Amino acid sequence: MQREEVRNLGGFVWSIAEILRGDFKQSEYGKVILPFVVLRRLDCILESTKAAVLEAANSVPEGVDDATRDMILFSAVGGNVKVYNLSRFTLTTLQGQDPGQLHANLVDYITKFSANVRDIFLDKFLFTDQLKRLKEGGILWNVFERFTEIDLHPDTVSNIEMGYLFEELIRRFSEISNETAGEHFTPREVIRLIVELLIANDDTKLTGRGIIRQVYDPACGTGGMLALTEAALQEFNPSIRVELFGQELNGESFGICKSDMLVTGHDPEQIAFGNTLTQDAHKDKKFHYMLSNPPYGVDWKKYQDAIKGEADTLGFDGRFGAGTPRISDGQLLFLQHMISKMRDDEIGSRIGIVMNGSPLFTGGAGSGESEIRRWMFENDWVEAIVALPTDLFYNTGIQTYVWLLTNRKPADRRGKVQLIDASSERFWKSMRKSLGSKRREIPEEARADIVRIYGGLLNGGRGEGDVAKIFDVADFGHREVRVERPLRLNFQASRERIARLADEKVFARLPEDEQEEIEVVLLGMGDTLFTNRDAFNKALAKAFKVEGVKIAGPVRKAVLSGLSERDEDADICTDKDGNPEPDTDLRDHELVPLKEDWREYIAREVTPFAPDAWVDESYRDARDREIGRVGYEINFNRYFYRYTPPRPLDEIDAELKALEAEIAGLLREVAA
C-alpha cells in the first residue's frame, strides 16, 4: 500500500467521524475513532484463528496459572502475536446479530480480550464509556457498520502503514481540537533521517548473527520511532534481534503503541505508561539506541519538586546533576534522562533527539541550560547537530534540529563536533498539498545526501563547506568576564537636587520636621558644584556640624545619592582603601572564547576604548574557580551566515517608477 493509499484510507476513517457530529464535540472524535481502529486491526488479525483459540481455551487444564494459560492461547493464535480474544464473536459475525444487542455484544467482545489488551480499552481508551454514549445517541450501529467495511489485516496494511494511518488520524484530530500534534508523532521522513544517522557508522557492529540491540524512546507516542528503527535495523541485518522500550504519558497514544507491540511480537510490558521525568519506568536500564522528539516549550512547573529534588539529592548519581533548564521548557531534561541510560560497555550508546532552537543557545553562562551544554560538550558526547528545514512538522513551522550524541566516538571525531545546515532548498521539496503546518518534506535523495555529509565528517573540503563545518568542542565555549568602569559623580546642593531627596526611601520615611531641618542645612551650602566626593563629604559634614544637626549613616547615604549625578569629568569615587568603586550602570560582560587568554582579549577589545576599565577578578566560575563564568552555546546563524547583497538602487528605482505608472493607469481607468 502506497502512502497516498494510506492517506485515502485515513480519509475514509475520518469520514466516519461525521456520524459523530452533534453527539460529540470535535475534540472528542479521536476518543471514539482511534480505539475503533485499534479494535478493527486486532479483530482482523485474530479472526482466522478464532476457532483454534476457543478450542485451546476449552482444553486448558484446570488450575493452570494465568501466565501458562496465556502462553497456550498465544500459541493458538500463532506467529508473534501476544493477544487473544475469547468472545464467540468477531466484528464480522456481530453484523448478523440483533442490532439492539450490539452494545452488550461489543462490551462482551472487549472484556474477553487477554488482560494486556483489555486494560488498554478499559483504562486508557475508556472505550466502554464511549460505546455507551454512542448507544444513547442512537449512532452505535452506524459507526460500527462503517468500521467493519475496512480491512486492516497486516497482509493489506503493514505495521509501518498502520503507523502512517494513526499519524494521519491524530494530525486531523489534533488540528480540529487545537491540540499540539507534535507532541504525539514525528513525520516519518524525519524519523528515517534520525535512524539512518544513528546507524550510519555502525556497519561492523551490526553485522553477523546473534546481534541484539535495545532501542528506547522516553516519549514514544504511538511508537513510530521505535517501529521505524526496528525496520531499518532488520533491513540492514535480517537476523538481528531488536528489543523495543518506551514510555508515554498520553493514554490514547500509549494504548496505540502498546497494542502495536502486542501484534508485532514485542514484549508489551516494555512500553510503560506515565511521566518519564518523574516516574522512570525503566530505571537502571541501558540502551544501544535512543530516539525522541520531546515536547517543545512545554513547562514542567507541576513536576518541579520531584525533578529538582532528584537533582539536589542525587546530583550526578541521578539524571539531572548537570542542572535544570528554565521552568518553561523541559527538552533538556529529556536529553539528560537519555544520557543517563547510555551503556558503559565497548559498544556504548547512540542518541538522536529532535529539539527546537532553544537548547542551542538559551541561557547565559552559569544558567541551567548552559551548564547542561557544558556537561555534554566537556564529556565529548555531542557528535553532530543537523539543522532541518522549516515547515516539516504538522503543528508548527519552526526551525528544528537533530542532535546526535554518543559515548563511543570514533577516533576521528573525538574532541570534534560537526554542524550540518540542511535547512536550504537543497534538502527539501514543497508538498503537493499541505498537511496542517507541514508544507515541506525531505525527499529520499536529500536524506541520503545528509547522511553522506555526516558520514564524511572531516571531508568538508569536498565542496560541502557551505553546509557542513567541523569545530573543536572548545569553539562553543566562552568565559563571561565582568568588566567594571569607575564611578564618577559630581555633587550639588541645588534646589532641584534637594527636591529629589523625596524619592530616596530612607529620607522619605523621616518625620517631616527632620526632613525640613536637613533641607535647611543643605540650602545653606549654596549651589557650588563638587567634582570630588570626598571634598563634598567634608563640606557636608561641616555644614551639619555648624547647624548642630546630626544625621544617621543611612540618611547621609541617601543625601549623597539624591544630590549626585554621573559626570565623566568628575574624579573617581574610591572606597576606604583607595580602590576605585565600580559604576554598576556601566558594568559590562565580555564573552572571551575559551581558546583565548582573557587578559589578551581585554587588552585588545576593551582597554583601547575604555582605558579606565578593569576586570572584576572576584567574578569566578563556580566549578573551576577561574576568573569568568564558563558558558556554552551554538549559534548556527553565525557559522552558516550567507551574505545577500542589497539590490542595486537603479533596479529598485526602476521598479518604483513602473509601479507608479501602473497605479496612474488604474486611476485613469477609474476616473473615466
pLDDT at 462: 46
Q: Where are the alpha helices (DSSP H) in 282-402?
A: 304-314, 331-339, 358-361, 368-378
Tell me what the pLDDT averaged over the chain comes to. Answer: 91
Least confident of 74-83, 117-126, 178-187: 178-187
The domains of the chain are located at 3-175, 180-466, 480-484+582-634, 489-566
Task: Kindly tell me if the per-residue pLDDT of 435 is higher than 80.
Answer: no
**Can you tell me the distance from the alpha carbon of 557 to that of 291, in angstroms, rounded to the nearest whole number?**
60
Query: Other CB atoms closer than 10 Å to residue 240's CB: what's the count?
Result: 18
What would the DSSP string read from start to end of 32-101?
HHHHHHHHHHHHHHHGGGHHHHHHHHHHSPTT--HHHHHHHHHHHH-TT----B--S--HHHHTTS-GGG
Task: Kindly tell me if the per-residue pLDDT of 478 is higher than 90.
Answer: yes
Each residue's pLDDT tens digit, 507-563? 999 999 999 999 999 999 988 999 999 999 999 999 999 999 999 999 999 999 999
Each residue's pLDDT tens digit, 317-342? 999 999 999 999 999 999 999 999 99
Task: Kindly tell me if the per-residue pLDDT of 179 is higher than 70.
Answer: no
- Which amino acid is present at 475? D
pLDDT at 460: 44
pLDDT at 162: 87
Position 422 confidence tier, pLDDT thresholds 50, 70, 90: very high
Least confident of 59-73, 126-140, 574-588: 59-73
Task: Kindly tell me if the per-residue pLDDT of 463 is higher than 60.
Answer: no
Task: Kindly tell me if the per-residue pLDDT of 181 is higher than 50.
Answer: no
Task: Kindly tell me if the per-residue pLDDT of 78 is higher than 90.
Answer: no
Task: Kindly tell me if the per-residue pLDDT of 459 is higher than 60.
Answer: no
Q: Which helix (H) or strand (E) is 588 found in, with range?
A: strand 588-593
Task: Kindly tell me if the per-residue pLDDT of 7 is higher than 80.
Answer: no
Task: Kindly tell me if the per-residue pLDDT of 182 is higher than 50.
Answer: no
The CATH topology of domain 180-466 is Rossmann fold (3.40.50)
